[in-house]
Amino acid sequence: MGNLMNVKITTQPDDFSALENEWKALSQNSNSDNVFLTWEWISTWWECFSTGRQLCILTARRINDGKLLGLAPLNIQRRVYKNIIPYRELSFMENQEAAPDHLDIISGADSEEEVAKAFVNYIFENRSMWDVIKLDNAASGSLFLRLMLEKKAASAMISYQPCPYIQLTETWENYLSGLSKNARHNILRYGNRLSKEYPDQVKYWRVEKKDDLLRMTDIFFSLHLDRKSEQQQDSTFNDQRLLKFIQKIVHKFHENGWLHFYILTVKQEPIAAILCFCYKAIFSCYQQGHHPSWAVFGPGRQIIAYTIKQAILNGALECDFLRGDESYKYVWTKKTHNDIYFSMPISSWGQFLFKMRNINQSIKNKYQKNALKA
């Protein structure tokens, strides 16, 4: 017999904070658990990015004893389409700046389907509270997402984002042997060149002391900005909220033993850094940076190679490069997860909004087609 459950909505910060212990316990028994769904990540994200958002965390509890069976970490934002049409958007507690991946609801392994169905039904039964649901960076295997699609697949907008990952082997040598001859040659060539040019002056190290975290995080920010400047790209690190968030999460993950923060130095000068999280045997490569003036030695390539070696030594099963199909990731792997970007109208106002979007897109496409003919 299934679990009889109540679904309720949490909208107040104090009630959110009160969920901490239950959230952590539920995560340990959840198949959808990953580092971006932990209490530490989501509560810290809310501290830094809550402005303009309304908490909307759904909880599912067993009726007979109140045990927490599931959580949907959601929030509501008020948006305006084309400066004309206001609407309420229900989404995961995330944003593009913080860049979390593989998002989902959290539920006990023995009640996944029941919880997912309960949350989907609640969202549609309470359609007066929101107009559109938008789930970015959703895990491809999300049962919650599949059930949402079954409700209204025809009106949903869906796209996919590749997240390359390495299925790790038992040793670095075994992993290296599986790469192309050219990839192996370049990895070893750059490493040997750096060591030959600066004998006994090349050092890779993990930031492990709490007193070093703030200073090395600032160096990491600087190297990341250098890398983006070299690529002539904007950096999300120009957002002060994101800097504050990363400074906080680095300390919290360090306390939990999840932080793997690696620095490459030459002559004691940091030339590359990578920020990784190791959680439940998954190494997530979150962000990296390197100094452009050392590009001839391939510092970005070298710090990634070192990270993969450390992931293997730490017994990780997977090294996840996270979202984005940048070419450098495919030097190391051909495997990808495909996170899903999904949006769907819920209320009648949301349906009107989607119709306006479709009309606008049709006009735009027709104009572009005529322009090409001209």
The string of pLDDT tens digits covering residues 61-77 is: 999 999 999 999 999 99
Reported CATH class of domain 5-162+338-373? alpha beta
How many CB atoms neighbour CB 57 within 10 A? Answer: 21
Question: Quick one: three-class SS letters along 226-288?
Answer: HHHHHCCCCCHHHCHHHHHHHHHHHHHHHHHCCEEEEEEEECCEEEEEEEEEEECCEEEEEEE
pLDDT by residue (tens digit) across 126-147? 999 999 999 999 999 999 999 9
Outline where the chain has alpha helix (H). Answer: 13-17, 20-28, 39-49, 112-125, 143-152, 172-177, 181-197, 213-230, 240-256, 299-313, 348-373
| Same fold across 5-162+338-373 and 169-316 | yes
pLDDT by residue (tens digit) across 64-113? 999 999 999 999 999 999 999 999 999 999 877 788 999 999 999 899 99
CATH code of the domain occupying 169-316? 3.40.630.30
Confidence band of 1 (pLDDT split at 50, 70, 90): very low
pLDDT by residue (tens digit) across 248-304? 999 999 999 999 999 999 999 999 999 999 999 999 999 999 999 999 999 999 999
Residue 151, pLDDT score: 81
Q: Give the mean model confidence (pLDDT) for residues 199-210.
A: 95
pTM for the model:
0.92
Residue 369, pLDDT score: 67
Question: Quick one: three-class SS letters along 102-129?
Answer: CECCEECCCCHHHHHHHHHHHHHHCHHH
Domain boundaries of the chain, sorted by first residue: 5-162+338-373, 169-316
Confidence band of 372 (pLDDT split at 50, 70, 90): low
> What tokens were used for 54?
């309304």
